[in-house]
C-alpha cells in the first residue's frame, strides 16, 4: 500500500486487491497516532501505546493533562492546576485572595493571593517569613522574585523563596504584599 508524500498516510493503489475494511483499518491506525488521543490516565496511555513515537499527543483525564512524547519520554505540556493553601505565619492573614500554591507542568511552583499582618495597622517588615509552601508540592529552587506591594516611596518589594519552602518578604515595611504571578522553578 503506498503512502502520501506528506505525513505518510496509507492509501490503496489502483492495483491493490479490493479490501475496504483492511484499507480503512490501515488509515484509521495511522490517523490515531497523529491526533490527540484520550486516556483515563498515564497507565492506560502507556499500556495502549507500547512503541510511542516523538510528537504523539495524549490527553489524560486524570489528572487533566495534555502530554507530548519527546524522543525519550512523555512530558506534560499543560495541566489543570491543583491549588493548595500556603501556610501563613501566625502574625499574617490573607489580603484579598487566599494565598495558594500549585505545581505547573511539573516544572514550577506558582503562587497567587495576598498577605497582610493580622494585627490592624501593623506592617509587614523586611525579612519577615510570611508563609510556607506545602511540602507536597516539592522543593523550590531558592531565589528572589519581584512582587507587588502597597506603594511605598516608589520601591518594589521582593519575595525570597528558600529551599525550605519559606516565603520571606524583602523590602520596605508595607501593609500588604501580592504573591500573584510568582513562578518558582522546582529544584
Q: Is residue 22, in this structure, part of any structural domain at all?
A: no
Residue 109, beta-bridge partner list: 103, 184
pLDDT of residue 78: 86
Do 39 and 120 share a structural domain?
Answer: no
pLDDT per residue as tens digits for the range 170-182: 999 999 999 999 9
Q: How far is CA 122 from CA 22, 90, 91, 125, 174, in A?
A: 76, 13, 10, 9, 9
Q: Residue 70 falls within a domain, yes or no?
A: yes
Report the C-alpha gap between 20 and 25 in whole angstroms: 8
Domain containing residue 154 = 84-185
CA dist 175 and 103 (Å) reads 28
Q: For residues 51 and 136, state if they share a domain.
A: no
Q: How far apart are CA 11 and CA 4, in angstroms?
A: 8
Q: What is the pLDDT of residues 87-108, one digit of tens each?
A: 999 999 999 999 999 998 888 9
Model-level pTM greater than 0.75? no
Kindly tell me if the per-residue pLDDT of 5 is higher than 90: no
Q: pLDDT tens digits for 134-163?
A: 999 999 999 999 999 886 655 679 999 999
- 178 DSSP assignment: E
Specify whether the CB–CB gap between 48 and 39 falls below 8 A. yes
Q: Give 9's pLDDT tier (boundaries 50, 70, 90).
A: confident
| Cis peptide upstream of residue 158 (ω within 30 degrees of 0) | no
pLDDT, one tens digit per residue, over 32-82 is: 877 889 999 999 999 999 999 999 999 999 988 999 999 999 998 888 899
Asked if 152 and 88 sit in the same domain, the reply is: yes
Of the three residues 49, 79, 109, the one that is the final residue of a domain is 79
Question: What is the pLDDT at residue 32?
Answer: 80
* pLDDT recorded at residue 176: 93
The set of cell numbers assigned to 130 is 510570611
Residue 88 near residue 111, CB atoms below 8 Å: no
Looking at the DSSP bridge assignments, the partners of residue 114 are 178
Amino acid at each position: 500500500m503506498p503512502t502520501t508524500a506528506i505525513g505518510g498516510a496509507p492509501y490503496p493503489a489502483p492495483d491493490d486487491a479490493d479490501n475496504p475494511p483492511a484499507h480503512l483499518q490501515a488509515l484509521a491506525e495511522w490517523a490515531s497516532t497523529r491526533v490527540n488521543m484520550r486516556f483515563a490516565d498515564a497507565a492506560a496511555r502507556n499500556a495502549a501505546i507500547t512503541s510511542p513515537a516523538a510528537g504523539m499527543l495524549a490527553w489524560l483525564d486524570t489528572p487533566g493533562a495534555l502530554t507530548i512524547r519527546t524522543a525519550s519520554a512523555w512530558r506534560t505540556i499543560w495541566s489543570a492546576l491543583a491549588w493548595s493553601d500556603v501556610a501563613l505565619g501566625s502574625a499574617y492573614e490573607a489580603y484579598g485572595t487566599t494565598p495558594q500554591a500549585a505545581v505547573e507542568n511539573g516544572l514550577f511552583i506558582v503562587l497567587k493571593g495576598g498577605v497582610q499582618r493580622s494585627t490592624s495597622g501593623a506592617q509587614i517588615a523586611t525579612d519577615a517569613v510570611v508563609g510556607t509552601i506545602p511540602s507536597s508540592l516539592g522543593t523550590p529552587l531558592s531565589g528572589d522574585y519581584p512582587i507587588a506591594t502597597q506603594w511605598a516611596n516608589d520601591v518594589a518589594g521582593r519575595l525570597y523563596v528558600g529551599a525550605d519552602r519559606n516565603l520571606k518578604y524583602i523590602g520596605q515595611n508595607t501593609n500588604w504584599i501580592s504573591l500573584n504571578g510568582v513562578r518558582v522553578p522546582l529544584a
